[in-house]
Amino acid sequence: MGTLCNNHRRYSIIVITILGLLAMVSDDLVAQDVANGQATATVLAALSVTAVKDLVFGNVLQGLPRTVANDAVDAGIFSVWGAGGAGISFYLVLPEYVSLTGDSDRMTISFNATDANIDTTGLSAADPTAFLAANGYANENPHNLSTTNFEAPAATIYIYLGGRVTPTVDQTAGAYTGDILLTVAYDGT
Amino acid sequence: MRYLFCIIIIFGSILVAPANSWAQNITVINNLTLGNMLPGVPKVISKRSAGAAAEFHISGIAGDEMSIDFSLPTYMNSGTSNMQMVFTTTDCAMDSSSSPDQSEPGNDDLNPWHSITYRLGANGLTIWLGGMTIPKINQRPGNYSAVIVLTVTPTGL
């Protein structure tokens, strides 16, 4: 009889202790709450710039300047592709001269304030001779090009560039080249 | 034996009672939504931007003091690509008034990187969080996401 009572008492103490522990533990568990929110963003297309065609002056004669118009077949062509509707800005770095390989002689190249056309209509193929003023920005200053927006959805913008070379009367014969650098960036609009 | 049953019942009551006295619940009202982004152009979402800032609501017993902790991401991910996220020391705001005002919250410019202690109001507590992402110039296009973890713990005060 005494053993039975002792067993009951022992079980009771164990049960009470477990309940007490559960009480403490469950208090902590219920007290804290955690929620997971999200941060979301969609990154649109990266800009892509291509020099489609060089500005070509062809054969020039000593002492005779030669001009290529911005709507001539020999005009330089850049294409820019990016996210539709996004605003972009352009910056052209234009050379002051073209030179022979090895820089043994130089020839002046110049760009006036109306030497660029910007076609924003998203044509599938570039054609400077087909450019109309209504197609974008006509006779732009290549030293200070207008900012513009891509057509939506993603589309291509073409820049057509003319220029002028002025050979001296004793210009060394040969093939002259110079780099024209176009930088394009989203402006955040 | 009866005495022991009484003790067990009392403990059972204790088991339930403290849990109820600190009951609180977090609801995610809005995710932090940065929308469309352009490569190379950082974007900031203000904590005051309704519908774009992250918004959490904590419900519970008015007057209970809560310790609020964010676990903030430093990058958003899209597959194997990531994009930097920045949370400044003033990107969080809270309001425990009966009509929370995101444009003029009761407690403004809080640091989400530190524990914040605040009491629940009659209408609980609303928390707003802004943030910034910085895409690289050659950031890969796609949908990016990150998890913002909010942990709320009663201080017992």
- Enumerate domains of chain A plus CATH numbers: 48-186 (2.60.40)
B35 → closest Cβ in A41, A47, A185: A41
Chain B CB contacts of A188 under 8 Å are 38, 41
pTM of the model: 0.70
**Whether A155 contacts A84, CB under 8 Å:** yes
Q: Which two tokens stand for residue A178?
A: 């110079």
| Residue (of B69, B71, B58, B70) closest to B22 by Cα position | B58
State the amino acid at position B89 in one-letter form: T
Cα A48 to the center of its chain, rounded Å: 6
Query: How sure is the predictor about B13, in pLDDT bands with cuts at 50, 70 and 90?
Result: very low
What distance in Å separates residue A6's CA from the closest CA in chain B? 12
ipTM of the complex as predicted: 0.82
Residues in B closer than 8 angstroms to A84, CB to CB, are none
Residue A32 contacts B where some CB pair is shorter than 8 Å? yes
Measured between alpha carbons, how far is residue A14 from residues A19, B10, B11 in Å?
Answer: 9, 15, 13
Domain B23-154, CATH among 2.60.40, 3.30.70, 2.40.160, 1.10.10: 2.60.40
- For A37, the closest of B24, B34, B148 (CB atoms) is B148
> Is there a contact between B107 and B54 (Cβ–Cβ < 8 Å)?
no
Token digits of residue B113: 């990187």
> Pick from A26, A43, A47: which is nearest to B19 by CB?
A26
Select the residue of B8, B25, B56 nearest A19 (Cβ to Cβ). Answer: B8
Give the pLDDT score at B17.
Answer: 42
Cross-chain residue pair A41–B145, CB shorter than 8 Å: yes
Chain centroid to CA A123: how far?
Answer: 19
Q: What's the pLDDT band for A135 if we cut at 50, 70, 90? A: confident
Chain B residue closest to A31 (CA)? B22
Q: Do A30 and B25 touch (CB under 8 A)?
A: no
Interval A100-130: pLDDT, tens: 999 999 999 999 999 999 998 877 788 999 9
**Measured distance CA(A161)–CA(A167) in Å, rounded:** 20
pLDDT for position A82: 87
Long-range contacts of B92-95 (CB under 8 A, 24+ apart): B92/B47, B92/B116, B92/B127, B92/B128, B92/B129, B92/B130, B93/B47, B93/B48, B93/B127, B93/B128, B94/B68, B94/B118, B94/B125, B94/B126, B94/B127, B94/B128, B95/B125, B95/B126
Residue numbers of A between 52 and 111 with CB closer than 8 Å to B: 83, 86
Collapsing DSSP states into helix, strand and coil, what is residue B148? Answer: strand
Pairing state of beta strands B43-45 and A48-53? unpaired
CA–CA dist A131, A72 (Å, integer)? 10
Segment B64-107, tens digit of pLDDT: 999 999 999 999 999 999 999 999 999 999 999 989 999 999 99
pLDDT score of A94? 96
- Other C-beta atoms closer than 10 Å to the C-beta of A46 total 19
For chain A, the distance separating the N- and C-terminal CA atoms, rounded to the nearest angstrom, is 90
Report the distance separating Cα B122 and Cα B62, nearest Å: 5
Please tell me the distance in Å from B100's CA to the nearest CA on chain A. Answer: 20
Q: What is the phi/psi pair of residue B13, to 5°?
A: -65, -45
